[in-house]
Structure formats: C-alpha cells, structure tokens
Structure 1
Amino acid sequence: MNIYGVTGWKNAGKTGLMERLVTEITGRGMTVSTVKHAHHSFDVDHPGKDSFRHREAGASQVLLASRNRIALMHELRDAPEPPLADLLAQLAPVDLVLVEGYKRDSHAKIEAHRSITGNPLIAPDDPTIRAVASDTALALDRPVFDLDDTTAIADFILRDLGM
C-alpha cells in the first residue's frame, strides 16, 4: 500500500492540504483513503443514540451501518493507542493512503507550514520529510512548494512514490 504523510504544527494548513490532495488525486482516477491522528479525545457518536448507548454499556466495538456508509468504533478502554501500521492494516486496499499527523512515524511526508504561526520548521531535523509546502519562500535542502499549489504537490508525492 502506498502511504504518504502530511505533517506540521497546529494551524499549519495540514487539513486543507489533505482535502485538496484527496480531491486532486481522486480526480486523476486513483483511489485514496485517509488516516487522521487526533491528539485529543474525540467522539463520532452522540449521547442518547443507540450506538452511543451500546458503547456506554461496555461494547468493545460498535459497527454502525446504513446504505450510505459504515463506521466502526473501537473503544480502547485504557489499552494503548494502536500504532499506525496496525491501523493501516485495517483499511481496504486503495492506490494511496494519505496520513495526517503521525509526525514521528517513518513514512515519507510533506510538511505544511504557515509563517504566521511562528512555529519552526520540522523538516531540517527530520529526514522523513521529503518536501515542504509553505506560504513563504524557504531555503531548504529539499523541494519547497507553494502551500496552495496542490497540483505540483500531488505531482511530487505521486512521483516520489513511483506512481
């Protein structure tokens, strides 16, 4: 499975870049799935709903299905967070999996960077970051793209993966 990451600090433009890349790459006829890491507790369920009640009652997994989509919720119940490789193994085969977050994992990544955040670049100290997408010109030892040049960024990722 081809995997490529989009990483960066908070408010760097990662989610917008991910969204544009999915649109661009699926528009080229390829299949894409995404994995998003959240650093905080999140819930896709709502109190009072049947599936929420199942989880609250102690179910380890709840599969919610309709004719439009399915969602599988797995309660960790104090178990450690699974590594990215375990999560990827649960995905159906696609041409490309784009991963948002997971800065410390070893897959190839592009760093999203916005100068207004004042955060330092991650790339200089991380060889897994193959390029940077930024809203400002940068002098680096790897390619730098305009954060909004989705076509060029997608071309680079696909070429870097040999696709």
Structure 2
Amino acid sequence: TGTSQADCAVLIVAAGTGEFEAGISKNGQTREHALLAFTLGVKQLIVGVNKMDSTEPKYSEARFEEIKKEVSNYIKKIGYNPAAVPFVPISGWNGDNMLEPSSEMPWFKGWAVERKEGKADGKCLIEALDAILPPSRPTDKALRLPLQDVYKIGGIGTVPVGRVET
C-alpha cells in the first residue's frame, strides 16, 4: 500500500457522539489504521480530531481532551510516543483549525511536540504538516529499493515498483 511509503500518517478521528467510540472500539478503524501505520514503519503521526462542530456542546474542549487522552493511551501501547504527536481539533466541513486558528475554539492554545530532533509547535493542521521531519535518505550507501509490487507487462517485461530509500 501507499502507507508503506509514507513519511507521516495523519489519523483523522471523528469527535461526534458514538463515532469516536466506534472507531476506538476493539475492531474500530481508528485503532486499525494507527496500528497499520506503525506496523508499516510510519514513524511520524499527526492526529486530527475532526467534526468538532458536531460535539455536544459544539466545539467542546472536554470532548477534545477525552479523545486526546484515549487516543494517546492507545498509540502509546502500539509504539508511538504521544509527546511527539500533535493533536489538533478541527472541523473539515467548516475549515476550523485547518489553515488558520479558529475563533470557535479559543480554548485551544495550540499543539506542541517534543522529539529528539527538537521541539515544534503550532495552532492548526497545516502547521503540524509543515513540522514533519523528512527522514534521512543517505546517498552514500548502497541502493535500497523496498518493493511494493511487481508487474508483468507484455512486450516490456517484469517491472518492479517501489521507493528508493538510499
């Protein structure tokens, strides 16, 4: 999958009543996708808590904090360091905290992460994306090309598909 070639995963978690609970349940998609990303070697993670406009009450700080706590506990169990993962409350429908800070969530002072390469902080999702650290891809080492697929094309031959790592 494309996930195996990603430098970062953005896990979008629905904040709506019942939606989050379904996603974080034993066989829920939130758990499944976080585990899949980690298993496939995606080292960096961003969590967008979406549909903040659908919480009760709307744009609820308590709901965001509850989701942040539960998702942090789960991603820690699978191998991510929650202190290095930005959590951003967003509304994709209304554009809240996507490109600029939202007036609907004055309680959200921003996200901050600590990692061995240093600290980073911001207030919206685009800033979390901008803070992704590009992995080192040494050019002085032997060629390493993890294969994603192999195609047999008539008249051309066998074509391996992957991403150059070194």
TM-score, length of structure 2 as denominator length: 0.29
Identify which of structures 1 and 2 has the higher relative contact order when contacts are C-alpha pairs closer than 8 Å and 6+ apart.
Answer: 1
TM-score, normalising length: structure 1: 0.30
Structure richer in helix, relative to its length = 2
In terms of Rg, which structure is larger?
2
